[in-house]
């Protein structure tokens, strides 16, 4: 046997044994025999570098060389799921799907693993790229780190498609988590709060040998591509299991709502016996065809939902209440607690939300309080054990009247629960919060900058607002604490690259109250430039789809402030994109200008979301319900009988899919 033949044989054998051990839990050889084969392969690869292969089993040991991550755009956006916490909301989801499809459907029930999301791309049966969720549009390329995870196959077997993507969750099992924290405690290093944070932090390590040592696991749960083996999501994953992927054995198809509830109720208790953390159940319409027809909202698919298990509760002592100032000036009271174990983490602080919550709880310092995790994420106080109060109980908690940071008297706007510091241009947490929002991934996405760096630049007087970032130079920051020439260059390059961020994200980055990503997109599509937005009156803004009086008033108030107008002018001078590009404008027409259109039914050529996009790009307005003001209904197959009857009663035109496409062409 030639060296090349021996190398190929060893690689194939090690891939097979790795799959048997880590995925199938059915080893055929001892650990020593496996290690001997691996050592032989390492020696042969060292002697014959001409036979190097990026997907060799030897890649799983990782490297101790540091490596910066590059960002990669997702071919298919990685959206989050809508969350629900009650059976009634599950019923509402099920009924929405039933009415929208108007045909039989199956629901695939899956455990919701509590880790960090990953997207894996395979070409010709080999892993070529692993990318984190990031902001949903793009993420970090962590391929070298992912190759060290034994349950992720580097090479597939069977009749897999030539190119596809598979997504899943990277986890740290409870045992690995506990072992890691014991090691960190012995070295007097900070402990990880929970397995999810540990997995996320490990995956972003710049040293892949560290990743290899921490024994991460992975479950894959979503297959994407042009040549999928079946129309059923469940069936696709069963095929993926045959190719070598670790797919949860606890997936189940439900044909009725009761079967969905049976699955939820079983795992609400049984999940505590699993070796990894779970925080709920994911429900997905099984048919990919039906998924496409149901489409997406701005943030999540309409064909899937996450049911979160009811929060666990613990009893602990309230030591004191402190107050935080957010970027909008909102004051959040924070309960400082005696540390207590809750849902796999140690809780020391919990949100009290606002003055009304504090008053309703009748809180006193020293009270024994009940703490829950809302959706098992954010701790909150839900009650007080008044029977535990003694003669030594402390004073009643009263909400503060002045900003804890700048001393400005607080205000409470009509109809709002929160108190605010109105000193938005001179209150340090608000200023820093606005800059942190500006540089965030979903906004300007400036690499190398984070809250700690923003805080340092602000304290040293280098920046007082977002526009000051564009005046920084490498020489200004290279000699600062923990900086250096290379880090400084990366930050300045990241700031320069942000000049290419499109208008809608720049608008979102300004941090105008109530103007989130979706609203910023609506505004950017309705106004050609920031000048038009600045000059728009209340009535003009309200005429934009999905913009109500509250949002419109916030925009008018923002531009009424001369300091905000000055900030925008300085950002313009810095070269940011405050208008739609010619490329953006070229894709818009006025063919549907002034028309309000309802979409109903199941479509053949495009999904509902694609039709909504077409309507907006051609000047039309999407509306959810039929009224006398409806221009026409774009109707697919299985249009709801109630909508059909109402349209006929009002004499509204019903347009077929083909007629609509012909109209636009």
| DSSP per residue, 480-492 | STT-HHHHHHHHH
* Together in a domain, 510 and 443: no
pLDDT reported for residue 231: 95
Contact 465, 435 (CB under 8 A): yes
Residue 146 shares a structural domain with residue 227 = yes
Helix/strand/coil for 117:
strand
Alpha-carbon distance of 40 to 42, in angstroms, equals: 5
Q: The domain that contains 353 carries what CATH number?
A: 2.40.50.140
In a shared domain, residues 39 and 134: no
User: Do 291 and 333 lie in a common domain?
Assistant: no
Across 145-173, average pLDDT: 94
Strand, helix or coil at 587? coil
222 shares a domain with 130: yes
| Residue 303: band (very low, low, confident or very high) from pLDDT cuts 50, 70, 90 | very high
* pLDDT above 70 (res 587): no
Same domain, 196 and 92: yes
- Mean pLDDT within 465-478: 96
Mean pLDDT of all residues in the chain? Answer: 88
- Give dist(CA 214, CA 451) in Å, integer: 28
The region of weakest confidence among 81-85, 105-109, 544-548 is: 544-548
Which residues contact residue 655 at a Cβ distance below 8 angstroms, ignoring those fewer than 6 apart? 632, 633, 634, 635, 663
CATH number reported for the structural domain that contains residue 660 in this entry: 3.40.50.10190
**% helix, strand, coil for the chain, step of 5:** 40, 20, 40
In a shared domain, residues 219 and 250: yes
Q: Who contacts 562 (Cβ-Cβ below 8 Å, separation ≥6)?
A: none
Q: Are 518 and 300 in contact (CB under 8 A)?
A: no
Element (H, E) at 554: helix 549-560
Is there a domain that residue 374 lies in? yes
In this structure, is residue 379 part of a structural domain? yes
Which residues make Cβ contacts (< 8 Å) with residue 662, sequence separation at least 6?
none
Supply the pLDDT for residue 373.
74
Mean predicted confidence (pLDDT) in 172-194: 80
Residue 73 in domain: no
pTM of the model as a whole: 0.57
Q: Which of 69, 135, 141 is nearest to 442 (CA)?
A: 135
Residues 97 and 225 in one domain: yes
- Domain membership of residue 163 (yes or no) is yes
Which CATH number belongs to the domain containing residue 131 in this structure?
Answer: 3.30.470.30
Instruction: Please indicate, yes or no, whether residues 185 and 261 belong to a single structural domain of this protein.
Output: yes
- 427 secondary structure, DSSP code: -
Considering the domain boundaries, does residue 601 fall inside one?
yes
- Order of strands, sheet of 596-600, starting from the edge strand that comes earlier in the sequence: 621-622, 596-600, 632-635, 653-656
CATH at residue 52:
1.10.287.610
Q: How many residues in total does the chain contain?
A: 665
Residue at 177 is within a domain = yes
Distance between CA atoms of 146 and 139, rounded to whole angstroms? 14
The pLDDT assigned to 56 comes to 82
Task: Tell whether 70 is covered by a domain.
Answer: no
The answer to whether the beta carbons of residues 371 and 381 sit under 8 Å apart is yes
Question: Would you place residue 262 in the very low, low, confident or very high pLDDT band (cuts 50, 70, 90)?
Answer: very high
Query: Domain range spanning residue 360?
Result: 311-416
Q: Is the pLDDT of residue 335 over 70?
A: yes
* Whether residue 231 is found in the same domain as residue 296: yes
Domains contained in the chain, number: 6
Question: Per-residue confidence at 419, pLDDT binned at 50, 70, 90?
Answer: very high
Same domain, yes or no: 145 and 235: yes
With vertex at residue 337, the alpha carbon angle to CA 333 and CA 342, rounded to the nearest 5 degrees, is 110
Which amino acids are annotated catalytic?
Answer: 112
Please state the rounded mean pLDDT for residues 504-509: 94
Bigger pLDDT: 495 vs 589: 495
CATH code, 432: 1.10.150.20
Domain boundary among 307, 339, 361: 307
On whether residue 251 sits in a domain, the answer given is yes
* Cα 285 to Cα 307: distance, rounded to the nearest angstrom: 14
In this prediction, residue 24 has a pLDDT band, given cuts at 50, 70 and 90, of: low
Are residues 285 and 149 part of one domain? yes
């Amino acid at each position: 046997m030639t060296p090349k033949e021996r190398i190929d044989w060893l690689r194939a054998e090690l891939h097979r044994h790795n799959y048997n051990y880590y995925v199938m839990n059915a080893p055929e050889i001892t650990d020593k025999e496996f290690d001997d084969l691996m050592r032989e392969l390492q020696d042969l690869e060292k002697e014959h570098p001409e036979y190097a292969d990026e997907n060799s089993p030897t890649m799983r040991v990782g490297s101790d060389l540091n490596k910066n991550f590059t960002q990669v755009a997702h071919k298919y956006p990685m959206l989050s799921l809508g969350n629900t916490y009650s059976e009634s909301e599950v019923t509402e989801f099920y009924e929405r799907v039933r009415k929208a499809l108007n045909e039989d459907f199956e629901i695939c029930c899956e455990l919701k693993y509590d880790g960090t999301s990953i997207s894996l791309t395979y070409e010709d049966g080999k892993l070529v790229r692993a990318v984190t969720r990031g902001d949903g549009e793009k993420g970090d390329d962590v391929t070298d780190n992912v190759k060290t995870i034994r349950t992720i196959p580097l090479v597939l077997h069977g009749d897999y498609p030539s190119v596809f993507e598979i997504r899943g969750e990277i986890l740290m099992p409870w045992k690995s988590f506990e072992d890691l924290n014991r090691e960190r405690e012995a070295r007097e290093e900070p402990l990880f709060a929970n397995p999810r944070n540990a997995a996320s932090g490990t995956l972003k390590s710049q040293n892949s040998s560290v990743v290899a040592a921490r024994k991460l696991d992975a479950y894959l749960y979503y297959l994407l591509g042009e040549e999928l083996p079946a129309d059923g999501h469940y069936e696709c994953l069963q095929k993926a299991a045959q190719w070598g992927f670790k797919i949860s054995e606890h997936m189940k198809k439900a044909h009725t709502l009761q079967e969905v509830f049976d699955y939820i109720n079983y795992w609400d208790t049984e999940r505590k016996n699993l070796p990894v953390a779970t925080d709920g159940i994911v429900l997905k319409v099984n048919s990919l065809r039906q998924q496409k027809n149901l489409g997406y909202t701005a943030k999540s698919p309409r064909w899937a939902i996450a049911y979160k298990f009811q929060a666990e509760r613990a009893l602990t002592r309230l030591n004191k209440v402190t107050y935080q100032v957010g970027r909008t000036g909102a004051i959040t009271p924070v309960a400082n607690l005696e540390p207590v174990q809750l849902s796999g983490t140690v809780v020391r602080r919990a949100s009290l939300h606002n003055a009304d919550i504090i008053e309703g709880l009748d809180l006193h310092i020293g009270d024994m309080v009940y703490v829950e995790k809302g959706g098992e994420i954010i701790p909150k106080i839900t009650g007080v054990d008044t029977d535990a109060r003694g003669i030594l109980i402390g004073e009643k908690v009263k909400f503060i009247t002045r900003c804890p940071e700048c001393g400005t008297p607080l205000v409470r706007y009509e109809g709002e629960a929160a108190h605010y510091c109105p000193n938005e241009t001179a209150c340090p947490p608000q200023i820093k919060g606005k800059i942190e929002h500006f540089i965030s991934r979903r906004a300007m996405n400036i690499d190398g900058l984070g809250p700690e760096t923003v805080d340092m630049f602000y304290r040293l007087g280098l920046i007082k607002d977002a526009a000051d970032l564009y005046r920084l130079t490498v020489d200004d920051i290279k000699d600062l604490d923990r900086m250096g020439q290379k880090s400084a260059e990366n930050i300045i390059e990241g700031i320069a690259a942000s000049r290419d961020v499109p208008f809608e994200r720049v608008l979102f980055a300004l941090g105008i109250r109530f103007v989130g990503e979706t609203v910023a997109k609506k505004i950017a599509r309705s106004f050609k430039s920031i000048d038009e937005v600045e000059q728009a009156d209340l009535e003009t803004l309200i005429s934009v789809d999905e913009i109500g009086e509250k949002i419109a008033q916030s925009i008018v108030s923002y531009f009424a402030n001369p300091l905000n107008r000055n900030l925008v002018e300085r950002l313009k001078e810095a070269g940011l994109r405050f208008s739609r590009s010619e490329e953006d404008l070229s894709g818009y027409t006025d063919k549907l200008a002034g028309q309000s259109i309802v979409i109903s039914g199941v479509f053949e050529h495009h999904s509902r979301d694609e039709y909504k996009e077409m309507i907006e790009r051609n000047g039309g307005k999407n509306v959810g319900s039929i009224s006398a003001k409806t221009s026409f209904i774009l109707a697919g197959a299985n249009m709801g009988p109630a909508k059909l009857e109402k349209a006929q009663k009002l004499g509204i035109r019903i347009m077929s899919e083909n007629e609509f496409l012909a109209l636009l062409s």
